[in-house]
Structure 1
């Protein structure tokens, strides 16, 4: 309810234009640059409100007669609304800020949005909002739903797609089950790509980073092809040498090459009818990885760590210092392809809007990993995945500005998935040679020239119906009520077999099967002979691994929102929302009963039940305040929230070569957030935010134990011994208590047609645990990130210097135990992903 002009970020075609003519472009920048980013300085009330990191325009001071913030219009509720009027916790970053801050992927966003975390792991990209997210598993959908042009991206692999030529990114916190729906238990990311324009325009940009030889090219052409037909072509190419040195191969890693092309066609055959068709194809490939060994010590009662053990076996030296150096002997790569075809049809009639979104999304990748993270031949993995998804959404929106407003729709989605990973042990592998130095491992000689293969297939069908209505009781009080019914069916199968490397020839050798069971904790089809009769206390060692299952589940999720406007500048709101994410099947566990919580012997565990994990759900209560201060020069938003989550889906490393999936029974997350922006002068604007997060597992007794931890959870094998660990009362991974952000931007005319623009962005993050099994040694210290940019703009040309992580912080973003370091070598050894060190890039850009 600010009394100011409106900047429409997503509205009619005329409002979607971005005029790249020099003088119009400079005018837009003067309106846009003033709000560079959010993030602040005070701890209090953190996590929910609306952090506008989008560069928000500074108004025409001569017309207004005073300095005021420009009103922001967003579409996070599928309607055009002032950001200050949205009774949700939303952060927005517009396309200008994305470009100027060099935000190239989802991980870069965490620098600018409070209480959100992104990190790449060995096999996925994880996204968390308010501490809630999804772990490593190709069987998981995401607890934080990601939507690109209203199309749901269900798989973590899709998060690795490059981000470019975007109109904006909206981050919604808390369950978004009504309008976004599919699996948005913790929040949603809503990405909107730039659309074709009514006038011919475009730009070309080229940047070079000096330390790691990063080169990036972006090009855009947009404009009309006829009176009612427009097109936009966007291309991106990126390459870099890598920021970690592999001292074994003397190569910088990971070397990266990314290519993306997007063609968007906009046809308006009638004034009230439009078709928007988007084709997108991406290839993003890497060689090597950024993982290194960062911790290496012997287990209690032993004297030799992993490095000394390898040296004693005449293996290459292992470096466990945090120094951006690693060792790997096996050629590593990741080759990824992504395609997206989306057709959006809109028809306006009698002030109603009917929208149909039809989409086909597919990806495939091949990964080869030296997953022992040493220069010795121990664990070499090959991973392949193919995924195809089709979705259709139909929604109808009522006219705005009536006493009653509503939106209703239906949604359908299906997908097919194939995932296969294979552990290859060639004749030169270290494991068979261990038989010569350790009589207890004599059977390892059988491992030479064999492979362990996990073959997983899954399919799913989902449909949903949703509606939301708002009653404007009077000019101060609004009531919104919504609901979504979802029905989902899944079927999956999985088999673990032994093969001859490089072939499809199955090795039917029960003894070899039991060697794999002993060495890798991997049940398999070949190990089907019992060493015991199966009586209580003497469970069958293994019954093979060939399982399949079907699931069918449904959920109804309601939402209630109350809004009260104290005056034109201040709004209070409260909301009650639930969220739901369906259960599924575990593709990477090597043990049929890995997460069985009963006391039955393994041979009595229902294989299909153990193969599955259950649905997760959330219930959130949030209250907030949004207000404008100092005659429109400032805004402050406060939000408090509490979330209760049941059966969070958890994936934890088993110490061998597998990940076990199950559910944490009860979890509580609460917190607060303060954020805002302030126009300090005609040339300077500040954005700030602070978040506080309290996270606790209230009932989670079947967690994987970290190395050296004494089991105190449950007995999953029926042998009378506890073999899991109780995580009840602990904080989860990636849950810093406090996060503070501050951004200052400055713009001025230097002389004539020469303008200067600069910003400084600072983020401080509290210490938190980054180890997948919550090993206390995985706790990292608090850190501070500093980014900055300085630009000179002359007519249609600009040159900029951009620095990231200018304090050169060494930040571990992910840690886990090196495979087999615990089970075979008797050590507690971490491999970790280190975030990129300081980078300084020079960018040139030409706009027309």
Structure 2
């Protein structure tokens, strides 16, 4: 049945290509400034009509017009241009700055920021969702290089790493990511869904848009988008030649090199973009026992894109990316207080969850190392009929990860850990989108097919204290298989000029299988899950939007490597009912943006991770009932032509209602109901950030940019018990970046964690995981660096 349905969708796609064309024609192009940067939000109008569009985050536009039309292009601060289209359909337009406007004190508002959270380009102030987005200029000014640096600007969002490269912890609106499980957000790069959550850890460069939309987004993005979706869009191939070289250096002997080249192979027909980046750092955290730095990191990244406009209506693009990332692993901190044992330091067990100089140390006798290698490619086919667009996206993704290091985290050769895991993902999506944006009804629908295969192997050395011999123990040897077939649709309808209703749905048919070779057990299950979404948006006036949303969330269940007293062999699907009300406002000619929302999430079977060192397994279990209540504010003030002030605040009150029973096939189950009423672990109680951004055109060829951000992370509980000795207090991180641009050259200086604040990104209380010691994973200390960029 699944295969037949998928074949019907394929046939529908190709049969649609034969639709007879009308008399209008489609024109497209890119609008840039003189330095070849795409202008975001430029207005493109058919002269004498209201038929028009705005450019997206890459400066691209597309519209349908009658033959022999005249087009008018305008953008604040630039000279308006007007021209007859003639027989051309493809345009590359460079706008010149208006010298008179530059000399005037003309302060432009914030409305140029656009996003693509609903799979179409639109101003984030017009989207009835909680959205934060940075376009090219914002990404560059804030120094965004990964999701961690972006998360510091987003309320109710936190991104941490621990143990090894590719091991991530992201929490959104009180919903944490789980080690060994799926992230609470969909992760999409250039419109392609990325199934493996370890890829959230990759370096980000040559970007056009970074965006997060919060609240359940399953209707638009599929399973596991229970807390929202993260959209990353890279820069596209261009019709004009441009190149960039960047070199940088930072403390820890960190070296960076980057090269980007883009242009036309065949003018107006075939374009390319090639980018590569190299990073190499010795590290900043030292193992006191080995006297070596442990957080070393080396990353080689390659990306290539080709785009072909085969006809006015048909375009094809192909992209490929490869990266090879190596880094330190398993360098957990322990309590340095203790006594001498055979010449070595014996830790005292209890670790302060609030690290500071002298109360934690890294003393493992094994230098941990980890790696992640990724190959991914995609093929996109876009066809534009007179009435709707059709897009086919085919993608392949391969990830291989390895981790080796200490398991006792002490200066003894008692335990080690070794882990080898990989994932192979195939995606096929077909989407139909409405083209007539001037009608009251807007729609999109389509189908999605995915297969994921994930082998997992884990073993390690264990000491026998009776004989003092070491022997190898295999903890897991299994493969998980997932197959998904989904149908989805989304409809907007303008009930009045001010009131718009939206309804979306996604129906997932998921099949899960596990082949546990170690225990000779095969398991399987099938899910049929319907994820509806509904919203109302009321545009009170040009500057005020109110909205209300309801959505069903779904994060898939699965199978653990074993049964212990802390978790079962399988864990259940996580389901949520989500309610949100919000507003978006602007004032003072868009120089003030003030957005906010309040939300309530009701969980059934909320998933949680725990490491059971008694049996050397990690696993996922469920709370029967839990809930999150919270709100967030996001404000921006353009104080002058040269200075912006930003502020965001988020509160997430995440609580266990009914903990339930987990694990224990021999009658030794864990009763989590003793934690009823306590806060959910791994979730900061609140977050807030304050930032200042400045851009000054000193002369025609010289520009200054500056950015400083103070990021606050609230109190975090590391276990359901909510014991004070297992709870980290709030902390703040201060980051800054300044740059000077002269003609084709840019020089920048940056600093992260400028106050050298110590903090933990993960804390594991030994009392509850069968370990004699608490351990913590230190965040990055003070880092400073500089870089030089040349464009040609």
Shorter-normalised TM range = 0.7 to 0.9
**C-alpha contact 2:133 2:211 (8 A) present in aligned 1:** yes
* Residue of structure 1 in register with 2:537 after alignment: 563
Corresponding residue for residue 551 of structure 2:
577
Aligned equivalent of 2:608: 650
Matched, 1:14 2:50: no
Normalising by structure 2, we get a TM-score of 0.83
CA distance in 2, matches of 1:495, 1:548: 8
Q: Give distance in 2, aligned partners of 1:777 and 1:561.
A: 43
Q: What residue number does 1:816 align with?
A: 764
Counterpart selection for 2:777 from 830, 833, 838 = 833
- Looking at structure 2, the residues matched to 130 and 409 of structure 1 have their Cα atoms a distance apart, in angstroms, of 29
Q: Which has the higher contact order (CA 8 A, sep 6+)?
A: 1
Aligned partner of 1:799 among 728, 744, 747: 747
Deviations 1:88-124 (A, max 9, x none): 0111122343344333322222211111111112252
Equivalent position of 1:382 in the other structure: 418
**What is the aligned partner in structure 1 of residue 217 from structure 2?**
176
The question of whether the paired residues in 1 share the 8 Å contact of 2:748 and 2:787 is answered with yes
* 8 Å contact kept, 2:612–2:770: no
Asked if structure 1 preserves the Cα contact closer than 8 Å seen for 2:648 and 2:690, the reply is yes
SS at match of 1:109: helix
**What is the CA–CA distance in structure 2 between the aligned matches of 1:752 and 1:359, rounded to whole Å?**
44
Q: SS in structure 1 opposite 2:548?
A: strand
Give the structure with the larger strand fraction.
2
Matched, 1:451 2:473: yes
User: Structure 2: how far apart are the matches of 1:367 and 1:376?
Assistant: 19
- Following the alignment from structure 2 to structure 1, what is the Cα–Cα distance between the partners of residues 718 and 685? 14
Aligned partner of residue 730 in structure 1, secondary structure:
coil
Rounded to whole Å, the distance in 1 between the matches of 2:119 and 2:504 is 14
Residue from 520, 524, 531 that aligns with 1:550? 524
Alignment of 1:159-238 (within 5 A): 159-210=200-251, 212-227=252-267, 228-238=269-279
Asked whether 1:369 is paired with 2:405, we answer yes
Pair 1:474-2:433 in alignment: no
Q: CA deviation at 1:157?
A: 1.8
The change in CA–CA distance for 1:778 and 1:104 in structure 2 (over 3 A counts) is farther
- For the Cα contact (< 8 Å) 1:295–1:831, is it kept in 2? no
Per-residue Cα deviation, 1:775-826 (whole angstroms, up to 9, x for no partner): 53231121122111221221111111111111211111101146x99757xx
C-alpha deviation, 1:267, in angstroms? 0.8
- Residue 288 and residue 250 in structure 1: after superposition, are their counterparts in 2 closer, same or farther (change >3 A)? farther
2:456 counterpart residue number: 419
Counterpart check, 1:345 vs 2:345: no
Change (3 A) 1:294 1:843: farther
8 Å Cα contact 1:757-1:790 kept in structure 2:
yes
Q: Indicate how the Cα distance of structure 1 residues 724 and 452 shifts in structure 2: closer, same or farther if over 3 A, else same.
A: farther
* Residue 132 (str. 1) matches residue 175 (str. 2): yes
Deviations 1:320-379 (A, max 9, x none): 775474122224211210011011111111141101111000111221021211121122
Q: Deviations over 1:189-236 (max 9, x none)?
A: 1111211011111211111113x1211111100010112000000000
What residue ranges of structure 1 are gaps of 5+ in the alignment?
A: 1-10, 32-51, 297-306, 426-430, 436-444, 497-544, 596-609, 704-713
For residues 806 and 29 of structure 1, the distance between their equivalents in structure 2, rounded to whole angstroms, comes to 33
- Structure 2 equivalent of residue 304 of structure 1: none
Give 2:431's match in structure 1, choosing from 395, 405, 409. 395
Q: Mark the runs of 5 or more structure 2 residues left unpaired by the alignment.
A: 1-25, 43-56, 60-74, 79-97
User: Aligned equivalents of 1:665 and 1:167: distance in 2?
Assistant: 42
Secondary structure of the 1:755 match is strand
How has the CA–CA distance of structure 1 residues 794 and 697 changed in structure 2, closer, same or farther, with 3 Å as cutoff? Answer: same
Equivalent residue, structure 2, for 1:302: none
Q: Could you tell me how far apart the structure 1 residues matched to 2:32 and 2:661 are?
A: 54
SS at match of 2:412: coil
Task: Report if aligned partners of 2:659, 2:672 keep a CA contact under 8 Å in 1.
Answer: no
SS in structure 1 of the partner of residue 218 of structure 2: coil
Structure-2 change in CA distance of 1:405 and 1:663 (3 Å): same
Q: What CA distance in whole angstroms lies between the structure 1 residues aligned with 2:277 and 2:310? A: 31
Deviation at 1:174, TM superposition (A): 0.7
Aligned match of 2:48: none
**In structure 1, which of residues 46, 67, 83 is the aligned counterpart of residue 107 of structure 2?**
67
Q: Give me the whole-angstrom Cα distance separating, in 2, the residues matched to 1:649 and 1:368.
A: 27
Q: TM-score, length-normalised on structure 1?
A: 0.78
Query: In 2, are the aligned partners of 1:59 and 1:69 still within 8 Å (CA)?
Result: no
In structure 2, distance between residues paired with 1:749 and 1:236: 29
Q: How many residue pairs align between the two structures? A: 702
> What is the CA–CA distance in structure 2 between the aligned matches of 1:93 and 1:200, rounded to whole Å?
25
Residue 516 of structure 2 corresponds to: 494
Quote how far apart the aligned CAs of 1:403 are. Answer: 1.2
Equivalent position SS for 2:640: coil
1:407 aligns with 2:351: no
Distance in 1 (alpha carbons) for counterparts of 2:671 and 2:41:
62
1:284-295 → structure 2 map (5 Å cutoff): 284-294=325-335
Q: Measure, in 2, the Cα distance between the counterparts of 1:624 and 1:291.
A: 41
Distance (Å, rounded) in 2 between the aligned partners of 1:254 and 1:106: 18
Give the Cα–Cα distance (whole angstroms) in 2 for the partners of residues 725 and 577 of structure 1. 28
| Mapped partners of 1:772, 1:738: distance in 2 | 17
Aligned to 2:574: 616
1:327 & 1:312 partners in 2: Cα distance? 14
Check conservation: 2:160, 2:169, Cα contact below 8 A: yes
CA distance in 2, matches of 1:167, 1:754: 23
In 1: Cα distance, 2:769 partner to 2:242 partner: 59
The answer to whether 1:329 aligns with 2:329 is no
Q: Aligned partners of 1:277, 1:772: CA distance in 2, in Å?
A: 47
How does 1:624-703 map onto structure 2 within 5 Å? 624-656=582-614, 657-702=616-661
Once the two structures are superposed, what CA deviation does each residue of 1:487-518 show, in whole Å capped at 9, x if it has no partner? 0001102244xxxxxxxxxxxxxxxxxxxxxx
Shift of 1:470: 1.1
Matched, 1:249 2:290: yes
Preserved contact between residue 655 and residue 817 of structure 1 (Cα < 8 Å): no
Q: 1:325 to 1:679 in 2, by over 3 A?
A: same
Q: Please say if residues 213 and 230 of structure 2, whose CA atoms lie closer than 8 Å, have aligned partners that are also in contact.
A: yes
Structure 1 residue corresponding to 2:184, chosen from 143, 155, 160: 143
1:114 touches 1:691 (CA, 8 Å); kept in 2? yes
Following superposition, the deviation at residue 456 of structure 1 comes to: 1.3
* Displacement of 1:83: 1.0
Cα pair 1:335 1:367 within 8 Å, conserved: yes
Cα distance in 1 for residues equivalent to 2:441 and 2:667: 59
Alignment partner of 1:784 is 2:732: yes
Note the aligned Cα RMSD (angstroms): 2.8
Instruction: Tell me, in whole angstroms, the C-alpha distance in 1 between the residues paired with 2:219 and 2:540.
Output: 27
